């Protein structure tokens, strides 16, 4: 997800505006900052670009999720249903507000399986948190229906899918709140940063206060601000916001290139009969940061990964099933509830029970999945060569695999 690949004079100019004032903080110093308000400008640009009423920048996507959860009133005793495939930040944020992450299976969209969500609902469920993984999106209609039926909050972790849309609306703007990450490897980057998107003025006002120690931001004197409730420091800096401002102006171009390169590579991979592709609930809305594809069995997938490694063509291709950070199988610290500080006994019990479950349906999908990241810098010739090399590695393995072992799981 490579916003950083097209970095240049535009980002330097925005950062320089801030450096020239010397005011690196987003609040206060009204005189010395001489009208430079990069964080405010970026929030306005986010609202206009993605079609949301409110945007609250934060220091990261993780702190955006925490801020959103706190502002939506999620806390101790609440359960948040989330997928088995995501980045660790999703459950970290749930734990940070004292709620219990309830992990459930994904389907071939690589996002929450709505049926698995239904089965996981208890009297403690407060929120459903789909994670729009790898540039695409969850089945938001199905999840919204479940939320409506059970009076639950829908919080979209859209950190990996900036620019993706679902039925004409940007992901992250459809639920009660949504989040993006602007870390270094996201579609657009601030270096580090994040944002909460919401159409609810009351949720926004809480986000605004929570991410700045609870400041009510009612006057010009920070020392005289009231603190209606506890908050933390999850503020973004003006330097980071300045980078994001230059990047958001390039988003349209990034998405166009991603879509073009994605289509060219997919056309080559689609020639292999053994490959199938992830389900995309709204194909027109895919932001195309990755192509995620499946092979018939785990054994074939592992052999293809090994062959790609041997041929030195694995870079940019991800086998999440073995990755320590993205899939439940390798989250030993979560399964053992290994934390530097004590958890409330009820949380610890709930956590251990909910993450040490059987995830066979997710395993059957993730063990056969490879995601290929799309670069903004590829030439047509490079895409052709890359595609042909991947196809030839797959064909070599498939040809060497006895027919009886080619059966889909």
Ligand X SMILES: Cc1ncc(COP(=O)(O)O)c(C=O)c1O
Q: Which of 37/184 has CB closer to ligand X?
A: 184
Which one of residues 90, 165, 189, 372 is an interface residue with ligand X (CB under 6 A)? Answer: 90
Min dist. Cβ of residue 227 to ligand X (A): 25
Q: What are phi and psi of 403, to 5 degrees?
A: -50, -40
181 touching ligand X, by CB under 6 A: yes
Min dist. Cβ of residue 216 to ligand X (A): 26
Given strand 317-318, what is the order of strands in its sheet? 276-277, 290-294, 369-373, 317-318
- Token pair recorded at residue 362: 């997710």
Provide the mask over 185-224, with x wherever binding to ligand X is found by CB under 6 A and - wherever it is not: ---------x------------------------------
Q: Which of 138/255 has CB closer to ligand X?
A: 138
Q: How many residues bind ligand X (CB under 6 A)?
A: 14
Which one of residues 39, 52, 56, 62 is an interface residue with ligand X (CB under 6 A)? Answer: 62
Residue 317 per-residue DSSP state: E
What's the distance, Cα to Cα, between the start and end of the chain in Å? 30
Catalytic residue among 38, 126, 186, 386: 186
Q: What are phi and psi of 159, to 5 degrees?
A: -55, -30
Given the rule CB under 6 A, which of 86-94, 226-234, 296-304, 337-345 is the region that contacts ligand X? 86-94
Q: Which of 113/157 has CB closer to ligand X?
A: 157
CA atoms in the 13 A half-sphere facing the CB of 398:
16
Q: Which of 43/183 has CB closer to ligand X?
A: 183
Q: Regarding beta strands 169-170 and 153-157, do their DSSP bridges make them parallel or antiparallel, or are they unpaired? A: unpaired
2 touching ligand X, by CB under 6 A: no
Contacts of ligand X in 99-158 (CB under 6 A) = 131, 157
Look up tokens 């919204």; give the residue. Answer: 144
Min dist. Cβ of residue 21 to ligand X (A): 26
Min dist. Cβ of residue 183 to ligand X (A): 4
Residues linked to residue 181 through DSSP beta bridges, in sequence order? 194
**Helix or strand run (H / E) with residue 128:** strand 125-128
Q: How far apart are CA 74 and CA 69, in angstroms?
A: 5
87 touching ligand X, by CB under 6 A: yes
Q: Which of 33/132 has CB closer to ligand X?
A: 132
Q: Any catalytic annotation for residue 186?
A: yes
Min dist. Cβ of residue 294 to ligand X (A): 20
- Token pair recorded at residue 329: 């199988």
Q: Is 392 in contact with 385 (CB distance < 8 Å)?
A: no
CA distances from 311 to 223, 293, 379, 402 (A): 61, 20, 21, 22
Binding residues vs ligand X (CB under 6 A): 60-62, 86-87, 89-90, 131, 157, 159-160, 181, 183, 194
Just list the catalytic residues: 186
């Amino acid at each position: 997800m490579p916003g950083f690949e097209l970095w240049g004079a535009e980002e330097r100019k925005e950062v320089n505006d801030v450096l020239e004032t010397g005011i690196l903080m987003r609040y206060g110093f009204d005189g010395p900052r001489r009208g430079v308000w990069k964080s405010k400008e970026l929030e306005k640009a986010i609202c206009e670009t993605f079609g949301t009423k409110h945007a609250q920048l934060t220091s990261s996507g993780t702190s955006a999720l925490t801020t959103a959860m706190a502002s939506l009133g999620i806390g101790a005793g609440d359960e948040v249903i989330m997928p088995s495939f995501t980045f660790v930040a999703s459950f970290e944020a749930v734990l940070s507000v004292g709620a219990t992450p309830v992990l459930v299976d994904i389907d071939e969209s690589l996002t929450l399986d709505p049926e698995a969500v239904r089965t996981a609902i208890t009297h403690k469920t407060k929120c459903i948190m789909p994670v729009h993984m790898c540039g695409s999106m969850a089945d938001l209609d199905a999840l919204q229906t479940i939320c409506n039926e059970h009076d639950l909050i829908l919080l979209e972790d859209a950190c990996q899918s900036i620019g993706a849309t679902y039925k004409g609306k940007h992901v992250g703007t459809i639920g009660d709140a949504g989040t993006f990450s602007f870390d270094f490897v996201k579609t657009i980057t601030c270096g580090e940063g994040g944002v909460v998107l919401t159409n609810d003025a009351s949720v926004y006002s809480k986000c605004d206060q929570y991410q700045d120690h609870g400041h009510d931001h009612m006057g010009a004197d920070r020392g005289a601000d009231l603190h209606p409730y506890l908050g933390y420091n999850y503020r973004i800096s003006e330097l980071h916001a300045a980078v994001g401002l230059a990047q958001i102006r390039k988003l349209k171009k990034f998405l166009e290139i991603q879509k073009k390169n994605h289509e060219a590579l997919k056309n080559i991979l689609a020639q292999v009969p053994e490959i199938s592709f992830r389900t995309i609930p709204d194909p027109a809305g895919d932001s195309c940061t990755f192509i995620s594809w499946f092979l018939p069995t785990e054994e074939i997938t592992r052999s293809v990964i090994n062959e790609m490694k041997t041929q030195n063509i694995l870079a940019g291709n991800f086998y999440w099933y073995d990755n320590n950070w993205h899939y439940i199988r390798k989250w030993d610290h979560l399964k053992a509830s290994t934390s530097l500080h004590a958890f409330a006994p009820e949380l610890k019990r709930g956590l251990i029970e909910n993450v040490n479950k059987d995830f066979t349906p997710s395993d059957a999908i993730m063990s056969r999945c490879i995601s290929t990241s799309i670069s903004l810098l590829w030439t047509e010739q490079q895409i052709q060569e890359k595609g042909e090399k991947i196809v030839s590695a797959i064909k070599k393995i498939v040809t060497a695999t006895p027919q009886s072992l080619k059966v889909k799981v």
